Amino acid sequence: MSEAEDRKPRSDEARATFDPEITSEFAIPEGLAVARGSGESETTSEFAVPKGLESAQAETEPEGSAFNTPRTYSAKDAPPAFTPATGVPMLTLVTDAPWQDRMRTMLRMPVAERPALEPVARSEDEGPAVPRVLDLTLRIGELLLAGGEGAEDVEAAMFAVCRSYGLDRCEPTVTFTLLSITYQPSLVEDPVTASRTVRRRGTDYTRLAAVFRLVDDITDPETHLSLEEAYRRLAEMRRNRHPYPGWALTMASGGLAGAASVLVGGDAIVFVAAALGAMLGDRLAWLLAGRGLPEFYQFSVAAMPPAAIGVAFALADVDVKASAVVTGGLFALLPGRALVAGVQDGLTGFYITASARLLEVMYFFVAIVIGVLTVLYFGVQVGGELNPDAALNIQSRPVLQILASMVLSLTFAVLLQQERSTVLWVTLNGGVAWSVYGALHTANFSPVASTAVAAGLVGLFGQLLARYQFASALPYTTAAIGPLLPGSATYFGLLSIAQSHVDKGLVSLAKAVSLAMAIAIGVNLGAEISRLTLRIGSPGKRRAAKRTRGF
């Protein structure tokens, strides 16, 4: 190398070092020799391996992806950080279990742990269109929710229909008035969402049972029910008439009120008077419904005739238990079905739907209060002697009361438009419930505890009968809790308020609320206990939501 060439890089270094325009703090200090780089950018990350610590393996091993197996990993000595040493147990659902239990089990587990969908051959070559499957699912969910079914059971039915037609990545959502379902074909495709609003509710357990049978046939792999056939059966359910005519419902309302009056100590005259008051209130409610008035006013008007008959007996000074007449009339109006469904939704984690249902129950209860208080207030003002302490003088007539409880459950089943094949079972279930309640009450158990135990047996037997019939549990439980409804506590609380004994009345109404909650919790607990004895197919016990522990 010549002297000129040797001097050229030095002049460059000198110019780079002593250039007065370079004022950055990152400039090379004077006198520091810097090796000439190769032109490539150097690694300056704080995660880079320091010079001198590179191992021979790092020099020979190419740069890998974050998804590659780490160099320190060994299949023989695998770290137990994510996967247990025994592996992850495979979940397989028992095929002969009812679809309600299988789908409920899947809904209660994380999405990543749900078993993959097994392909099922259908009549369509390419499978039904996704929007039509979602539409059918929403229509089925609408009928179930409008019929009073719990939110969890509605979601289970919707989930079962979607999976049966090949849509396994679906998530149903149920609130009090809105149904929605989302299906995502894959992680890279856009999800499809459909929704439906439930604007009208009606009590028809015959239609509810038909919907359950339809879902059972859809989920049965041996039936091969096509989408067109499912639509046809669903249309037939909507067109079918109620199993009982209007006059039969009115007679059933009277029979329910008469049987309830016998439970609280009434005789034959009280039975007839309570039945007439309930039938008159039912006809007035039907008249208001035909005029388009909301249910709030229907309940208020329907509660007035039984209270008016009771006040008339008190004014006439007839040796008849007027309180039993009013109490019997209230039994036909208490919203026990909505209360049980609301508490069940709350216990299973559907708090929005539970709040809406309980708010509906509160409105109905306020309507009954307004109707009864209006009549009782005028009765007290004109001199009607109604005794709030009459509840303490109820006679013990076990045989007659058991028969009355069975009649009450029978008539309640007719009002709920149940199938004739379920009426006998729910009648027997109601008799068992009252027998257990009477036995515990005679043994000096508290009314709340006795009611909870009796309602628990109702829920237990109802779930077992429903699983035996592969049907909904509502037709076997709702009417059976009729004898346990707090009609007398409600009436005596309202009567005390009408007589200006507000504190005493509020205590009685609080007792009525406690009894109602005991019924709802007992029914739900009995149903959960019955499910524990069923073989559903989970790897261990069925998971439930963990306690939040305040956070």
pLDDT at 180 over 90: yes
551 band by pLDDT with thresholds 50, 70 and 90: very low
pLDDT of amino acid 550: 39
Residues 389/390/393/394 CA torsion (nearest 10 deg): -130
Q: At residue 499, what is the residue type?
A: Q
pLDDT of amino acid 279: 92
Mean pLDDT across the chain: 76
Distance CA 459, CA 480 (A): 9
Between these two residues, 188 and 105, which has the higher pLDDT value?
188
333 band by pLDDT with thresholds 50, 70 and 90: confident
What percentage of the chain carries pLDDT values higher than 70?
70
Q: Mean pLDDT throughout 240-249?
A: 83
181 band by pLDDT with thresholds 50, 70 and 90: very high
pLDDT at 55 over 60: no
129: left (phi over 0), alpha (psi -120 to 50) or beta: beta
Between these two residues, 37 and 262, which has the higher pLDDT value?
262
Q: Mean pLDDT throughout 347-352?
A: 84
Digit-coded pLDDT (tens) for 282-328: 899 889 888 888 889 999 999 899 888 888 887 777 666 777 888 88
Distance CA 90, CA 452 (A): 38
195 band by pLDDT with thresholds 50, 70 and 90: very high
Window from 50-64, 165-179, 307-321 with minimum mean pLDDT: 50-64
542 band by pLDDT with thresholds 50, 70 and 90: very low
Annotate 443-495 with three-state secondary structure: CCCCHHHHHHHHHHHHHHHHHHHHHHHCCCCHHHHCHHHHHHCCHHHHHHHHH
Specify the 3-state DSSP secondary structure of 197: strand
pLDDT at 153 over 60: yes
Q: Mean pLDDT throughout 17-32?
A: 58
- Read off the tokens for 140: 């089925």
pLDDT of amino acid 51: 64
Q: At residue 75, what is the residue type?
A: A
pLDDT at 221 over 60: yes
Distance CA 233, CA 223 (A): 14
pLDDT at 29 over 90: no
Distant-in-sequence, close-in-space partners of 138: CB < 8 Å, separation ≥ 6: 158, 179, 180, 181, 194, 195, 196
What sections of 85-204 are H helices per DSSP? 99-107, 130-146, 151-164
Q: Mean pLDDT throughout 341-346?
A: 82
Nearest alpha carbon to residue 433 among 417, 467, 409? 409
384 band by pLDDT with thresholds 50, 70 and 90: low
Nearest alpha carbon to residue 139 among 179, 192, 87, 188? 179
120 band by pLDDT with thresholds 50, 70 and 90: very low
Between these two residues, 119 and 225, which has the higher pLDDT value?
225
